[in-house]
Amino acid sequence: MESLKVFRLQNQYGMSVEIVNFGARVKSILFPISGKVKEMTVGYSEPNDYLNDQFYLGATCGRVANRIENAKFEIYGKEYVISSNEKPNCLHGGEVNFSLRYWDLIETGDDFVKLSLESIDGEQGFPGKLLATVTYKLTVNNELQIEYTAKSNKATPISLTNHTYFNLGDKTCESLELKIHAQKILDRKSNGLPSGKIVNVENTDFDFNTFKNIGKSQNTATNQMLKKMNCYDHCFVLDSNEKDLNASLVSRNNKVQMNVYTDQLAIQLYTGIALSDPFIPYQGVCLEAQGYSNAVNIPHFPERILQPEDVYRKHIKFEFLALNSVEE
């Protein structure tokens, strides 16, 4: 019988990270500020509560993060019908996705843990036997580094991401300020899926190229869909996917900044409106570095299919900085 395990990573500066093997999840990130450690994320205090989690707290999402429209796609003319856990669409890989599986331990140490998961051919409807790994490493520079790898024996779509909700110690993400290096977003239809258009963010509610308060941006939105949603759940096309600085999140209350670096193509910004008991809406914000949403069904979107001869390899880094002041 599989059992729940928690791995604690620590560096010499007092920062620590807890990883749960169920869903390969980030359970906790404690960061020292003015001599006291503070929780940076939204999570359950008891590890067993993750077994019934409905919010993807800290989770590794896959085989394909985000949504696949109508829970189906074609590869080389063959149609695959997959699990439709957000009817009629597939969300984050289906009913029994990677966030709801126990991952196997490969190796661990004081500052890292490497986990693996085997997904059989046909699981949730996806083709190919796939072996995925995730490595979490806490550095001396107060960085949580994440590396994903995957290999499949058949052509299959894949897009892995981390779904941690960050609040940097604030009560909600509405008090945080956000900057995303993205001149464009994927145009979003009312069903949450991209239309296929890639649109500019300049002079819109989606322009986070300078620091903006999340709550104010939501509450004063002029975009009709955003006003109706009262929440960001949008895919931002990153200016660079060369592991450059891609986004920054700031708490003025706690004088802490988190920077996001990735070689992924996009970041899904989600401000957590669906969080509910024991949490509250907007308690945390997700910055989900991933591929384009529904890329498998939109031919002009990049990085659609992993081929058997290739290795999927992606990186995300969350860097934490204590600040005396925040640059405007």
Q: Residues with catalytic annotation?
A: 163, 288
Longest dimension (CA), the chain: 59
Contact residues for 116 (Cβ-Cβ < 8 A; gap 6+): 103, 104, 106, 131, 132, 133
The upper half-sphere exposure of residue 183, i.e. CA atoms within 13 Å in the direction of its Cβ, equals: 2
Cβ contact 32:15 at 8 Å: yes
Structure tokens at 201: 């963010």
Would you state the structure tokens that stand for residue 72, as one six-digit string? 């189906």
Distance (Å, rounded) from C-alpha 262 to C-alpha 242? 7
> Can you spell out the DSSP letters for 67-95?
EEGGGEEEETTEEEE---TBTTBEETTST
Asked whether 294 and 52 are in contact (CB, 8 A), the reply is no
Residue 72 CB contacts under 8 Å (≥ 6 apart), including other chains: 79, 80, 81, 82
